[in-house]
Structure 1
Amino acid sequence: MRTRAGISHRSGGSGGDLLLLLHGLGATGAVWDRLLPLVERDWPGSWAVPDLRGHGRSPFEPPYGYAVHAADVASLAAGASRVTVLGHSFGGVVGAVLAGGWYGVDVARVVALGVKIDWTPEEEAGARRMAARPPQVFATAAEAAERHLRLAGLTGLVDPSSEVALAGVRETSGGFTPALDPRAFGAVGPSVEEVLRRVVAPLRLAAGAADPMVGLTVMRRVDPDAVLVEDAGHNAHWEAPDAVWSLLRS
């Protein structure tokens, strides 16, 4: 892992065309591990996989918000001739903000997976309650890993004893805690649809066919050519990495 502007990330490849892989709220960059072999095999430039602020090994330092996360990610793109973004859920929104033309980054394309577009007032209030809660501390790393997987929507998909699960755990003086600052939930609130509509780069929306967060009709309000990834739910990049990679490369 490396750090730039405080943001922990993995990187590889070479060249001016940078691929950014941005994880969702509650997850870490480790959720791209099933896709990375395809990136390393086929991507013609460089790539970077960050832990967003408040997640994984990156700083737990407010403020949190789409624009702040996008500024953090823009620091990773310094020196790139152009940037392609593949973002999941919250990370897709962050990528859309990065592609809004405000950060001096030449974004060639954004592919956003499983972005929850419609939020009810009750859901937004629930996110604010989550942001106000103190971090949960567990006696064992295994318990913290189980909680991390629930927060990331990966329960039943990722082995709780795997390195991917443990990447979402931090050791504290009192035990172990999920590697997520609850205050990061405070980023929820601005209209996601409005953010997506302000993207000045080509935008493709996609979601797993069984994703409970968003469906084709809703996505096509923003992207008339939005698509579904078959045999996948909310974490299509984990469940169907070959299909997601084909979508990005098409």
Structure 2
Amino acid sequence: MSELRVRQGGNGGPVVLLLHGLGATAEVWDGLAAQLPGEWVAPDLPGHGGSAPLPAYTFAAVADSVADLVDPEGTLIVGHSFGGVVGLHLAARPGVRAVIGLGIKVAWTDEELARAAALAAREPARFDTRAEAVERHLRLSGLTGLAGPDSAMATAGVVEEDGRFRPALDPRAFGVGDPAVADLLAAAPVPVLLARGEHDAMVGADQLRALTPDAVDLPGLGHNAHVEDPRAVAALVEGYR
């Protein structure tokens, strides 16, 4: 396991492993963690927050880096967007009981993949002030308007280097490519629930239901449903405990 920053709390199984989306940090799960009755574990994924970067990024490589956090005695994985795909790569690990994928973008055009690859080739943006870096971090993680600039969700995603500031996200993580979700679902040996916020512009209800007919729409919510309404996502988790 690469050097990871890991947050955890609670007692009693099965453990809930919480995997954040691209650009975010483990702090996005604070609201949900407070709703969980048992043990939870939330890493910063490699190249995010306080976790070390990887030499190269694939979904499989990111999954391998956090695989030791799966409790073989019983683990429920909840992953958001990028983290949801990572969770699907962990579905066959001993101890995994189910995977909940929230807000996973399942359909990618060639243009979108090319744009992501171009982002992966850029140098990290650096700023003279922490406030500017926080603003960029919130935009990269889709948290603008959902987290204040002084909140833990905002400040955990910024690092200082040589007197300047930048988002902690390693831009190379944008280059993971097409997640091939349909293939991952076909290979998953455990139950998988896909869910989205009703207003999530990243993935449509019809796209999810084409992959699994029991996909869930969470009323009134957007892409970061777990931040907007942790109780709604906690209800999904409770169905698998």
TM-score range, shorter chain: over 0.9
Q: 2:57 aligns with which of 54, 64, 71?
A: 64
Shift of 1:106: 2.1
8 Å Cα contact 1:18/1:80 also seen in 2: no
**Counterpart residue type for residue 197 of structure 2:** G
Q: What whole-Å deviation, never above 9, does each CA across 1:195-249 have from its counterpart, x for those lacking one?
A: 2332111000000000001121111122210010112100000011111101111
Counterpart of 1:7?
4
TM-score (structure 1 length as normaliser) = 0.91
8 Å Cα contact 1:205/1:227 also seen in 2: yes
Q: 1:22 aligns with which of 16, 19, 24?
A: 19
Moved more, 90-99 or 26-35: 26-35
Q: Would you say how many aligned residue pairs link Structure 1 and Structure 2?
A: 239
CA distance in 1, matches of 2:236, 2:160: 37
Q: Percent identity?
A: 50
8 Å Cα contact 1:98/1:105 also seen in 2: no
Alignment pair present for 1:213 and 2:202: yes
TM-score (structure 2 length as normaliser) = 0.95
Counterpart of 2:174?
185
8 Å Cα contact 1:114/1:206 also seen in 2: yes
CA distance in 2, matches of 1:80, 1:140: 44
Alignment of 1:151-170 (within 5 A): 151-170=140-159
CA RMSD of aligned residues (A): 1.4
Structure 1 runs (4+) deviating above 6 angstroms are none
Q: 2:105 aligns with which of 88, 100, 116?
A: 116
Q: What whole-Å deviation, never above 9, does each CA across 1:142-177 have from its counterpart, x for those lacking one?
A: 110100010001111111121210010011114000
Shift of 1:18: 1.6
Counterpart of 2:183?
194
